[in-house]
Amino acid sequence: TATATPTHVAPIPSVLPDTPIHEFAGDAGKKTLWVVFVLMIIASAAFTALSWKVPVSKRLYHVITTLITIIAALSYFAMATGHGVSVHKITIRHQHDHVPDTFEHVHRQVFWARYVDWSLTTPLLILDLGLLAGMSGAHIFMAIAADIIMILTGLFAAFGSEGTPQKWGWYTIGCIAYIFVIWHLALNGGANATAKGPKLRTFFIAIAGYTLVLWTAYPIVWGLADGSRKVGVDGEIIAYAVLDVLAKGVFGAWLLITHANLRESDVELEGFWSNGLNRD
Ligand code: RET
């Protein structure tokens, strides 16, 4: 006849009107983070192997490209183990005509480790492309400066409050910075690559075009996921996972394998890396 509620059962609060909606990673998302971690480790090992027979003075692309996948592996390890993620508390105000405003609360995970990763790896990707095209240090530097602004404004946008300029304002600034990145790489990179001859020009257009398509997908995913929350956390993880593997792993393999087949002068490196006493 004892009908008392067992004390070890937590009350279910879902009937409360202000219970926040939770948008958290599920099993698919968590598994994806581990899978990409492993893929980035494999890519790093493969790129290291590709550099084995290349003299140190000609290994700059290998070093940059391997560093990109190592940083990605570290960032995915962080995210897979639950590091580099915060819960962003979002309040959405619904205005009504004759009744008081109502508020909806959403708690959504934001994986800020991505922005740490991107702030390091996107400059390195630009360095790869800039050196390949034979861009000057000045133009590479400006492209990287715009790129860092793009990533950091994206980080601020991700934690921006709904209904204030914090969110879409930062995002807009990030998109403008992105246009500068493309500007430098397409115009200056393109002109320099053309000056290096038809073979390098064709390759640069192909790999820079590929990069342009992939990179442009990132702000679109951001807008659908973090921005408007039409896509859940798992969808976001999977979309970025596919993009990261293509923009870092496939990009790197393509660059390094082509590097091996290009003429010396096509991929020659400037000053600081290769001018030494050549005692290696
Ligand atoms: C954000 C939001 C703010 C506006 C823009 C963005 C662009 C991000 C890009 C990321 C690229 C990442 C890569 C990672 C690793 O390979 C920050 C999403 C424009 C272009 C290539």
Q: Which atom of ligand 1 is nearest to the CA of 216?
A: 20
Domain that includes residue 223, residue range: 20-267
pLDDT value at position 57?
82
Residue position matching structure tokens 């994986």: 111
31 CA distance to ligand 1 middle (Å) = 23
241 within some domain: yes
| CA nearest ligand 1 atom 2, residue | 154
Q: Which atom of ligand 1 is nearest to the CA of 251?
A: 16
pLDDT value at position 273?
75
| CA nearest ligand 1 atom 7, residue | 219
4 within some domain: no
The residue among 198, 199, 196, 146 whose CA lies nearest residue 175 is: 146
Cβ–ligand 1 distance for 174 under 6 Å, the answer yes
84 CA distance to ligand 1 middle (Å) = 17
Cβ–ligand 1 distance for 84 under 6 Å, the answer no
Cβ–ligand 1 distance for 121 under 6 Å, the answer yes
Q: State the CATH number of the domain containing residue 64.
A: 1.20.1070.10
Cβ–ligand 1 distance for 123 under 6 Å, the answer no
Cβ–ligand 1 distance for 244 under 6 Å, the answer yes
Domain count within the chain: 1
Cβ–ligand 1 distance for 203 under 6 Å, the answer no
Longest dimension (CA), the chain: 91
215 CA distance to ligand 1 middle (Å) = 6
116 within some domain: yes
One digit per residue, pLDDT tens: the chain, 280 residues?
555 655 565 555 544 556 889 999 999 999 999 999 999 999 999 999 999 988 888 899 999 999 999 999 999 999 999 999 999 999 988 888 998 888 889 999 999 999 999 999 999 999 999 999 999 999 999 999 999 999 999 999 999 999 899 999 999 999 999 999 999 999 999 999 999 889 999 999 999 999 999 999 999 999 999 999 999 999 999 999 999 999 999 999 999 999 888 877 677 776 667 765 655 5
Cβ–ligand 1 distance for 240 under 6 Å, the answer no
147 within some domain: yes
